[in-house]
Amino acid sequence: MTITTPASNVTGRTDRQANGTVDCCGAQIRAQCRHLATVVTIRGEIDVVNVDPVSEYIRRFILGHNPVVLDVSEVSYFAAAGISLLHTLDDDCRAVGVEWILVASPAVVELLGADEDQDDNGAMFPIARSVHEALRNLADAIVRRRQLVLPLVKKTA
């Protein structure tokens, strides 16, 4: 299921393409609600001009307890201002108790100073190499939580 909502760019104009992608000042954003998470995909460039509208737009997809996968693997340019977008998403998700995972392009990984081969223990944000890996990580986390709760349920039954 694709979620489409209009986005206003810097000029106040909404640019929605037929495939559910929204153009937000040079960044194309598409959100898909999947079983395990809402996957928000951004393509194009994230710079000082569009970082605030992009941030506002993706905040719409922090819904209930549904995890968010932010896929910026096809972002060709990621300005230092984009780090504020990631911090805002991280803060918003923490505030409502929603898990999120970043799927980063090489440009984003370089800017964050993260090593693509490292595990997420040393990363500033939870990072996966692909959307598939991010969804698998979320599924694994659900299984681990269930395994922790199951002995408690058996003891009370």
The structural domains of the chain, with segments of one domain joined by +, span 21-154
**Core vs surface per residue 114-138: b (16+ CB within 10 A) or e:** beeeeeeeebebbbbeebeebbebb
User: Quick check: pTM over 0.85?
Assistant: no
Kindly report, residue by residue over 65-83, the tens digit of the pLDDT: 899 999 999 998 999 899 9
Q: Can you give the pLDDT at residue 6?
A: 46
Question: Under CATH, to which class is 21-154 assigned?
Answer: alpha beta
Kindly report, residue by residue over 87-116, the tens digit of the pLDDT: 999 999 999 999 999 999 887 888 887 654
